[in-house]
Amino acid sequence: MNEKSIASSIGGGSYRVTDKFYSRLRNLVRDQVIPYQWEALNDRVKDAEPSGCIRNLKAAAEKTGEKHYGYVFQDSDLYKWMEAAAFSLMWSPDEKLEQELEEAVSLLAAAQQEDGYLDTYYILGDLSRRWTNLKDHHELYCAGHMIEAAVAHFRATGRDTFLQVAEKSAEHICSVFGPEEDKIHGYPGHEEIELALVKLYEVTGKQQYLDLASYFLSERGKEPLYFREETEREGNRDYWKDGVLQYAYYQAHKPLMEQERPVGHAVRANYLYAGAAAAARCTGDNALYDHLRHLWKEMTEKQMYLTGQVGSSEYGEAFTFPYDLPNDTAYAETCAGLALAFFANQMLKIERRSEYADAMERVLYNGAISGMDLTGTAFFYVNPLEVAPEACKLDQRKIHVKPVRQKWFGCACCPPNLARTVSSITDYAVHRTETEIFQHLYLAGEFDCELSGVPVHIVLDGNYPWDGKLSFTVSPQSPVTFTYGLRIPGWCEEEYILRVNGEVVEKNPENGYVLLTREWQPGDEISLSLPMRAKRIWANRHVREDAGKVAVQRGPIVYCLEEADNGPELHRILLPRDSFFTEKFQQSLLGGVMTLRCTAKVENGEPEALYTTRPPEAKETKELLWIPYYAWANRGEGEMTVWVRDGR
């Protein structure tokens, strides 16, 4: 890792986003999701199950004697909201929101115990039982989300009020966990605090936080298993005892370094990997990075949906095994896709490889943002690649798959997770080192950073993801030499054209990035033209569920067919290989999307008998209308599919 460049994000206030695509999403989060969730956290949403979040906190702060309400991880809903709110404030000041945020910070400070402990489930319950169920009681998970929110709050406001609360909590945790004889030799059942502690280390510079993150990472899965011993000692419930997962559900069946492939709960797995990557970057642990890279490849090359989503099984919200990617029973939780982006982003900070950014882009333009509807008021937890509404109601195997987005969830993890990611999208777009800057996502906007000691202003213009034509204006305060790395996306297989000040640059990408190293002058112009056209995609031959099927992608956008446009029984459609796509941007459709049209065949098989010797024929032709996958289910209930039959 010593030879690798360690990069950091350019985010928040210094990246002014003009990008239409992500602006729409960011604005929805700011205008709908964040205000709605604040009302929800305060139990002020009519006809919705109460959250109890603020109520719990007030009860803890004011010692009212009230009991805890909601899940054991209820506090984390507030923290994710706080993080999203802080990110939003970075680019869109809002006095009222800032005040609400401060109100929450004050409550947290008041609820926090003398010793720094802060978790309302135990404060309002039996405090003597805290830390007795690390496996399932999410105290460290909640603490992690608090720390992440506090770091965001500090970045957004410059004030350390929240950071003080978070540090007091983290110090308490440092005093409870660690290798020393008198400390608990455990680790969280739901990973999250690892990444948070590294972020806290980066903000405060305090080594103990990085050390504790590393301790959690290395202790995990060591024999004798902490979770097994804890379960026996405390008489805790053993949820996953009888299934295929057991401790693998928690990625705790063996040490991380011995885990051959992603297993268990997909959100936890990616939170673990993201935290481990962050720690590896800070500690320079090459062996850990190499192993994470192996896990990354096992995940993205064998267990990732075309939409960038992961976690194919509802059971345990988990990975199953390589190439098992069922479309109609997919779990593909919104949070799992986001977590994959967190992992990718951390890997990119260690090593610039476009495969990380490709998957990050895949999920951030498809399978994660499908989690929210066009109004920002309804959400998917599960993001299937094929839906027949009848099955979602009558087949218990698919009951987790919803054909339309839901207003809010009892377990409300996905909406605020999406909110915090969307409102910090700039953190994913560009990374820089002292002398290099890498453009991972082509998010139109302008940003400032210092390279080789000189302030540089960069303007990126374009209409991504609908158009592959991009232009950049690079304006250093004074001429300065640095490297601008432009990612050539994996979806772009044709010749791209890159020009600097009008002159074509012919340069092979290195690990997927064209590296433009030169003395940049104020006003230098770059143009990058990535040919973007609709393409057929086939899955690896080991993917049983996609055998004989084909999907359609244009640029980074994965497409789907909906019943609303194409009628029912999508399984009867065959896409001939010689059928040609026409494209049209439809401003008034689904918030503005590029649609694709082509001619297909419809198989007219036996309409009466259940089994027949009469072969089906596919003579009837049909015009298909394809829409971006992320925009599905915005027009009522109906069938949807990403994969259609390959007409050959």
Which residues are known to be catalytic?
317, 413
Task: Specify the residue, 324 or 448, whose C-beta has the smaller distance to a second copy.
Answer: 324
Sole binder of a second copy in the list 127, 547, 582, 623 (CB under 8 A) = 547
Task: Specify the residue, 66 or 637, whose C-beta has the smaller distance to a second copy.
Answer: 637
Sole binder of a second copy in the list 397, 477, 517, 623 (CB under 8 A) = 397
Q: Rounded to the nearest 10 degrees, what angle do helices 20-28 and 414-422 cross at? A: 130
Residue 535 interacts with a second copy (CB under 8 A): yes or no: yes
CA distances (Å), origin 311, targets 159, 382, 384, 543, 549: 38, 10, 11, 15, 21
Task: Specify the residue, 46 or 614, whose C-beta has the smaller distance to a second copy.
Answer: 614
- Give me the phi and psi of 21, to 5 degrees please: -60, -55
Q: H or E element: which one contains 622?
A: strand 617-628
Task: Specify the residue, 300 or 566, whose C-beta has the smaller distance to a second copy.
Answer: 300
Give the angle subtended at the CA of 210 by the CAs of 204 and 215, to the nearest 5°: 155
Residue 3 interacts with a second copy (CB under 8 A): yes or no: no
Residue 390 interacts with a second copy (CB under 8 A): yes or no: yes
Task: Specify the residue, 486 or 539, whose C-beta has the smaller distance to a second copy.
Answer: 539
Q: H or E element: which one contains 27?
A: helix 20-28
Q: Helix, strand or coil for residue 292?
A: helix
Tell me which amino acid residue 222 is: K
Interface residues for a second copy in 96-125 (CB under 8 A)? none
**Judged by CB under 8 A, which stretch of 2-10, 164-172, 385-393, 437-445 contacts a second copy?**
385-393
Sole binder of a second copy in the list 508, 580, 588, 611 (CB under 8 A) = 611
Interface residues for a second copy in 46-75 (CB under 8 A)? none
CB of 621 to a second copy, least distance (A): 16
The token duo for 560 is 């789907």
Task: Specify the residue, 34 or 359, whose C-beta has the smaller distance to a second copy.
Answer: 359
CA distances (Å), origin 28, targets 35, 320, 427, 461, 633: 10, 34, 18, 22, 17
Sole binder of a second copy in the list 39, 49, 434, 569 (CB under 8 A) = 569
Residues contacting a second copy: total by CB under 8 A: 62
Through-space distance between the first and last CA atoms of the chain, rounded to whole angstroms: 47
* Cis-peptide, bond into residue 489, ω within 30° of zero: no
Residue 479 interacts with a second copy (CB under 8 A): yes or no: no
Task: Specify the residue, 183 or 542, whose C-beta has the smaller distance to a second copy.
Answer: 542
CA distance 530 to 505: 14
Residue 410 interacts with a second copy (CB under 8 A): yes or no: no
* Cis-peptide, bond into residue 509, ω within 30° of zero: no
Sole binder of a second copy in the list 62, 258, 606, 620 (CB under 8 A) = 606
CA distance 129 to 140: 14
Residue 554 interacts with a second copy (CB under 8 A): yes or no: no
Residue 493 interacts with a second copy (CB under 8 A): yes or no: yes
CA distance 623 to 101: 51
CA distance 330 to 560: 15
Sole binder of a second copy in the list 39, 232, 260, 395 (CB under 8 A) = 395
Virtual torsion, Cα 569, 309, 588, 21, nearest 10 deg: -170
**Judged by CB under 8 A, which stretch of 151-159, 215-223, 375-383, 544-552 contacts a second copy?**
544-552
Per the CB < 8 A criterion, the answer to whether 295 and 289 are in contact is: no
Residues 6+ apart with CB under 8 A from 234: 132, 133
Residue 268 interacts with a second copy (CB under 8 A): yes or no: no
Task: Specify the residue, 518 or 571, whose C-beta has the smaller distance to a second copy.
Answer: 571
Using DSSP bridges, classify how beta strands 430-432 and 8-9 pair: parallel, antiparallel or unpaired.
antiparallel
Residue 519 interacts with a second copy (CB under 8 A): yes or no: no
Residue 504 interacts with a second copy (CB under 8 A): yes or no: no
Task: Specify the residue, 205 or 615, whose C-beta has the smaller distance to a second copy.
Answer: 615
| Residue 376 φ/ψ region, left for φ over 0, alpha for ψ in the -120 to 50 degree band, beta for the rest | left
CB of 225 to a second copy, least distance (A): 21
CB of 574 to a second copy, least distance (A): 8
Residue 571 interacts with a second copy (CB under 8 A): yes or no: yes
CA distances (Å), origin 126, targets 54, 131, 143, 410: 19, 11, 18, 24
Residue 160 interacts with a second copy (CB under 8 A): yes or no: no
Residue 443 interacts with a second copy (CB under 8 A): yes or no: no
Residue 282 interacts with a second copy (CB under 8 A): yes or no: no
Sole binder of a second copy in the list 167, 219, 314, 361 (CB under 8 A) = 314
Task: Specify the residue, 145 or 554, whose C-beta has the smaller distance to a second copy.
Answer: 554
CB of 622 to a second copy, least distance (A): 14
Residue 260 interacts with a second copy (CB under 8 A): yes or no: no
Q: Which residue has the tokens 């991009």?
A: 470
**Judged by CB under 8 A, which stretch of 50-58, 134-142, 222-230, 611-619 contacts a second copy?**
611-619
The token duo for 397 is 């195997």
**Judged by CB under 8 A, which stretch of 202-210, 321-329, 423-431, 472-480 contacts a second copy?**
321-329
CA distance 628 to 590: 9
CA distance 423 to 417: 10
Q: H or E element: which one contains 386?
A: strand 386-387
Sole binder of a second copy in the list 375, 540, 582, 586 (CB under 8 A) = 540
Closest CA to 489 of 298, 369, 310, 360: 360
Residue 605 interacts with a second copy (CB under 8 A): yes or no: yes
Q: What is the DSSP string of 75-125?
A: HHHHHHHHHHHHHHHHHS--HHHHHHHHHHHHHHHHHS-TTS---HHHHSS
Task: Specify the residue, 501 or 604, whose C-beta has the smaller distance to a second copy.
Answer: 604
CB of 549 to a second copy, least distance (A): 8
Where along the sequence are the contacts to a second copy (CB under 8 A)?
A: 243-245, 300-302, 304, 306, 313-316, 320-321, 324, 326, 329, 388, 390-391, 393-397, 399, 493, 535-544, 547-548, 551, 569, 571-572, 574, 577, 603-616, 645-646, 648
